[in-house]
Chain A
Amino acid sequence: MLRSRKKIEVAGWIIFAVSIALLAIRLSHYIFSAPVAESRKMPPPPKSSGAWWFTGEPAPVGQAADLTGVWFGDPLGDISKATLPGQEMILTPLGKHRYDTVDHSLNPTNRCLPPGPIRISLMQLPMMIVQRPDLVLFLTEYQRTYRIVYTDGRMHDPDAKDYPDWMGSSIGHWEKDTLVMDTIGLNDRSWMDVNGHEHSAQLHITERYRLSEPNILEQLATFEDPVFFVKPFTTRRLFKRQIGDRLLDDSCLENEKDLKNLVPTFGAAGR
């Protein structure tokens, strides 16, 4: 009888000691560790390789290079800063007057109008290239815009200049590993950059795209517009393939709240 009572007593002390130890361990977490603030960043996205179908394999010899994928170039506010040596942009008197007096509150994209084929590539949102034998698509995240480049040998539509539009008429062909594009039929309402370089409906753009490295896309673009530029000029820009990235949703009008706050701001004061 006494022995069993002793056993119960010992068991009780053991349970008590274990409880104290567990409590001490629990308290030590609060006593000895500094409070850790909850991170407000999202966890890194799962690792992925390739942009969907892109395998990273070089194109077979003699075939067009594989430009498919999501591409992002460094954002740029002044397209004249991307010109090649000896290819500087020289404005005509009209072009200079317009640049010096442009009203930044009238920037077309303030009103969510399309950005045009060149400014779209200067923005901070990426583009995705989809390539087929008969056409190449440039799907651009900003405002869910796109360019269709026909590479099936057709010419521009005969009325392309009679009905100019925001992204223009584009046809292309392959010169070995380089996609050569010709764009006309642009309206004169888009700006070429956020700094306010404008153009006329006579703007003619020739673009050359090639992979300068497996995941680097080089764009050489030549601009001819005798109304705004004294001579043609050529820019060079690089885009990096965004492995594993995809295009996200974008709607300029969804929650547009800037328009009501804009005030006229002219020329250099707006740059």
Chain B
Amino acid sequence: MSRFAKALFAATSGCQFLICPLLAHHSFTAEYDSSKPISISGSVTKVEWMNPHVFFYVNVKGANGKSSNFAIEGGSPNALRRQRWGKDSVRVGDVITVSGFPAKNGSSTVNAVTILLPDGSSLFAGSSYDLNGPKKAK
């Protein structure tokens, strides 16, 4: 895991109760590329507030002007609820900015570390980005 990736994580997360970005049901590194942190913005088209991970779908306009629909993976809904984020925190039509890591297989999937919401707050997505050590109990 690159130092740059760790620095991005440290700068954007501030690991909170139960929202530490690790230990999801799947291995982060087998799915996402921690050496290529990215940031994308777009309009939310769909919200899936479900186990084992919440998913947000976002239309992102590319350099050629065409839009692509990205799947944004967050943490578990339970962990987010304990941080007082709920199923209405991100809504269809919201323009959000996502910082995270792209899927290794080239699909339009991003593991979110933070999501900047329209109200200016930053939803720490509780991603499965794997980093041993940071933790904070309630």
Contact = CB atoms under 8 A, between A and B. Distances in A.
Interface of A: 37-44, 72-78, 81, 103-105, 107, 109-110, 112, 122-126, 141-143, 194-195, 240, 242, 245, 248-252, 254-259, 261-265, 269-271
Given A40-B89, A44-B84, A256 B52 contact: yes
A77 B132 contact: yes
A42 B137 contact: no
B99 interface: no
A40 B51 contact: no
B36 interface: no
B31 A263 contact: yes
Contact of A37 (B29, B119, B131): B119
B109 interface: yes
Contacts of A258: 25-26, 31, 53, 73
B125 to A, nearest CB: 13
A252 B76 CA distance: 10
Chain B residues touching A, majority SS: loop
Interface residues of B, number: 52
Specify the main secondary structure of chain A where it touches its partner.
loop
A104 B50 CA distance: 24
Nearest to B130: A77
Given A42-B85, A263-B30, A271 B130 contact: yes
Interface string B52-91: 1101000000000000000101011011011011101110
Interface string B12-40: 00000011101101110111000000000
Contact of A261 (B105, B120, B123): B105
B24 to A, nearest CB: 8
Contacts of B29: 104, 265, 269-271
Nearest to A263: B104
